[in-house]
Amino acid sequence: MTIEGDHICKSYDGRQILKDVSFHISEDNAYVITGPSGAGKTTLIRILLGLERPDSGGVHLLGDYKYPWINAGVVFQEDRLCMDFSAVRNVSMVNRRISDAMAREELMQLLPKESLDKPVRELSGGMRRRVCIVRACIIPSDVIIMDEPFAGLDEENRKKALQYINRVRKSTPLVLTSHSAEDLAFCRRIRIGEDITLPDQGGNYGNK
């Protein structure tokens, strides 16, 4: 599957957030949407997911694709967890094919065993973020989309989370936003506004 963004523009209350943004997302590759706060990274994610409509331009799904929407595993900026449920239940409930045992095995790669059966409201912000990452990665999907997935993670857990994501996604394309370019040199860039410094990995997209 290939996802193309075609000259996307979006404004709110007369203020242009996205201006003529184009990109090309294909299998086997990872992409990072870069730019300063307020540049429209989350807006672009929401347009990708079909949660908002652009003022002009659009998102096109190419190839043998059955549905008019993107089948994605998603980490939103907010956690969107069921706070009274355990980490295991929050992960297993998203798909009938995912058992509690499967969820537990995946979560143990990023979280201590003793945290898995506690209500997630009792976990730290960083732990809850790791639950969100596992939940997004375990869902059978055509693309994994993550909006600031490493918020609240220290350096060690950020690296572990990145290793986990890259290990489990295999050939599934990855799209994420991040304020920090650390450890993201493997990603191609989708630039929004003023870009952060990131080594070129064979693809630059964004505002024209």
Q: How many angstroms separate the CA atoms of 60 and 96, rounded?
A: 29
In a 10 Å sphere around its CB, with 0-12 CB exposed, 13-18 middle and 19+ buried, how is residue 103 labelled? buried
pLDDT digits (tens, 9 = 90+) for 33-81: 988 888 899 999 999 999 999 999 999 887 666 667 788 999 999 999 9
Looking at the fold, whether 155 and 135 belong to one and the same domain comes out as no
Looking at the fold, whether 61 and 150 belong to one and the same domain comes out as yes
Q: Report how many domains make up the chain.
A: 2
Looking at the fold, whether 134 and 170 belong to one and the same domain comes out as no
Contact 135, 113 (CB under 8 A): no
Domain endpoint, select from 106, 140, 174: 140
pLDDT digits (tens, 9 = 90+) for 159-207: 999 999 999 999 899 999 987 777 899 999 998 876 444 444 444 455 5
Q: How many angstroms separate the CA atoms of 133 and 205, rounded?
A: 25
Tally of CB atoms within 10 A around 113: 9
Looking at the fold, whether 57 and 87 belong to one and the same domain comes out as no
Total residue length of the chain: 208
pTM of the model: 0.88
Looking at the fold, whether 171 and 185 belong to one and the same domain comes out as yes
Looking at the fold, whether 29 and 129 belong to one and the same domain comes out as no
Residue 134, domain extent: 79-140
Residue 3's domain is classified under what CATH number?
Answer: 3.40.50.300
Looking at the fold, whether 40 and 85 belong to one and the same domain comes out as no
Beta partners for 16?
A: 11
Domain endpoint, select from 140, 158, 192: 140
Looking at the fold, whether 93 and 191 belong to one and the same domain comes out as no
Looking at the fold, whether 169 and 204 belong to one and the same domain comes out as yes
In a 10 Å sphere around its CB, with 0-12 CB exposed, 13-18 middle and 19+ buried, how is residue 154 labelled? exposed
Domain endpoint, select from 119, 140, 161: 140
